[in-house]
Homo-oligomer: A and B are copies of this chain.
Amino acid sequence: MIIAIKQGVSAEETDHFAAMLERRGVKVDISRGASQTVLGLVGDTSSFDPEALAAHHLVAKVIRVQEPYKRANRLFHPEDTRIDILRGGGAEGVQGANGAAGAASSIGGGMFAVIAGPCSVESPEQIIAVARVVKAAGAAFLRGGAFKPRTSPYSFQGMGCEGVNLLLEAKKETGLPLVSELMEIHQLELFDGIDIIQVGARNMQNFNLLKELGRSRKPVLLKRGLASTVTELLMAAEYIMAGGNSRVILCERGIRTFESFARNTLDIAAVPWLKQKTHLPVLVDPSHATGIASLVPAAARAAAAAGADGLIVEVHNDPENALCDGEQSLTPAAFTELMASLRAYAELEGKRL
């Protein structure tokens, strides 16, 4: 961190300010130029808030040189993280990219993982039908919402515990590991059979929830908030990792902008940026990012070409009568076609689908 001192500040005041900073645990280099005095902070500045420092009356500008995230930072962990989920739900582990993996579904480290399923679990018939379809098409994970965040209190809120049980049946039927969204920490005990806990975009900065998940052993699929920067996404991952859970999967799902032809704006360049900055796997959700089924395949292929480690896609056996998100759900046929085309794109990026 570099702090430019205002012009006209005396050497004594500067020394006094530097000493105060050193008491907070960093070493301070003072560089006095003819026209500008600059402080260089050496050491761990992750607890220093640049905006707070900028409030000080001696300070002209503050510049972070070091990134504020540590555990998620590729600088300190150059190798890609791969997260393995044993089919059947047995032992799991984080491994380097070349680790052996038995009969596991993996995310990251050379795999291109597709998570697919309906927005919400609606009935035994629906979830099992969709599970079979997405498995046959090559998906490695089944998604389905049991607890649904809905803008209106009068909209369908999900099937709750019953929905979780139906997911477990679909897993038994197909062997596909499960991904489902947790809306509050109490629900964690119900999620014993769920393989990956999803944190939705609206909860990306629910810091208490993130801290609790840091104490969990479950992998976490962390969706980017719709007005969150990629740095804030990494800081949210850092909350989970700081608690001891390093199995975090990031997910770009579109951000909110002035443009309204699509539900959100898919920030495709976030994918290569994240891949440079972090070792964590990066997925893309083309369904929420676009909100329009006919745009999903192109967005999915773009994600693969941009270097994503996989996708999370909404598929419904009867989109027109879906209880939520029907307009963005692929039909089984459209999903099967997409999967067939994706394989070649993943291979061009050196990944296995």
Contacts and interface: CB of A to CB of B under 8 A. Distances in A.
B239 A153 contact: yes
Given A229-B258, A266-B268, A272-B295, A34 B42 contact: yes
A226 B32 CA distance: 40
A56 interface: yes
Contacts of A227: 225-227, 256, 258
Contacts of A31: 31-33, 36, 38
A265 B255 contact: yes
A123 interface: no
A339 interface: no
Contacts of A34: 27, 29, 40, 42
Interface stretch (A88-96, A124-132, A135-143, A340-348): A340-348
Give the number of times this chain occurs in the complex, counting copies.
Answer: 4
Size class of A's contact patch? 35 or more
Given A61-B2, A238-B153, A266-B269, A261 B229 contact: yes
Nearest to A49: B155
A159 interface: no
Contacts of A320: 55-57
B295 A305 contact: no
A301 interface: yes
A72 B206 CA distance: 25
Contacts of A258: 227, 229, 255-258
Which 3 pairs, one residue from A and one from B, show the smallest C-beta to C-beta distance? A31-B31, A227-B227, A29-B33
15 contacts: A29-B35, A31-B31, A31-B33, A51-B325, A55-B322, A55-B329, A61-B63, A153-B207, A229-B259, A231-B261, A257-B265, A259-B270, A302-B302, A302-B306, A345-B348
Interface of A: 2, 4, 27, 29-36, 38, 40, 42, 46-47, 49, 51-52, 54-57, 60-61, 63, 65, 68, 149-156, 183-185, 202-203, 205-209, 211, 225-227, 229-232, 235, 238-239, 242, 255-263, 265-273, 276, 289-295, 297-299, 301-307, 319-320, 322-329, 341, 344-345, 348
